[in-house]
Amino acid sequence: MSHFVNIKTRITEREQLVAALQAMHLQYQASEREDLVVVGYDGKTELAEIVINTGTRYDIGLRRREGSYETVADWWGVKQGSLRHETFGYYAYGVDETTAVLPAG
């Protein structure tokens, strides 16, 4: 049984997403293709363009679907829902068309 859950987001700008991850000092890998492995429960895997190392045995993946990114993760294993909200907050601030600047982290 898979424990992976996909959550659609409104994130569309890859450059701003990566900038948000960097501003948060998160360890991540990024690829132009959906070829990075996201690890979940019992070693099960999914593929993504961006994979965030959560410091646990489980990863958070981001992949483009229908013009925006979705997260893919075993959220039970990640147990870091606040990480998801913080990432989206940094992203939203960075996409602000008037500043296009991320807060210092």
Average pLDDT score, the chain: 79
pLDDT, tens only, 31-40: 999 999 999 9
What ranges do the domains of the chain cover?
5-92
Which pLDDT score, from 0 to 100, does residue 99 have? 38
In the numeric block, which tokens belong to residue 91? 């992203």
pLDDT for 31-78, tens place per residue? 999 999 999 988 899 999 999 998 888 999 999 999 999 999 998 877
Find, among 83, 48, 53, the residue nearest to 64 by Cα. Answer: 48
pLDDT band at residue 84 using 50, 70 and 90 as cut-offs = low
Burial level of 99, CB count in 10 A (0-12/13-18/19+)? Answer: exposed
At 105, list the tokens.
Answer: 């982290």
Per-residue confidence band for 9, with pLDDT thresholds at 50, 70 and 90: confident
Read off the pLDDT of each residue in 12-34 and give the average, rounded to a whole number.
91
Q: 5-92: which CATH topology?
A: Alpha-D-Glucose-1,6-Bisphosphate; Chain A, domain 4 (3.30.530)
- Cβ burial, residue 78 (10 Å; 0-12/13-18/19+): buried
The distance in angstroms from the start CA to the end CA of the chain is 38
* Residue carrying the six token digits 């296009």: 100
Q: Looking at residues 1-12, what average pLDDT do you find?
A: 83
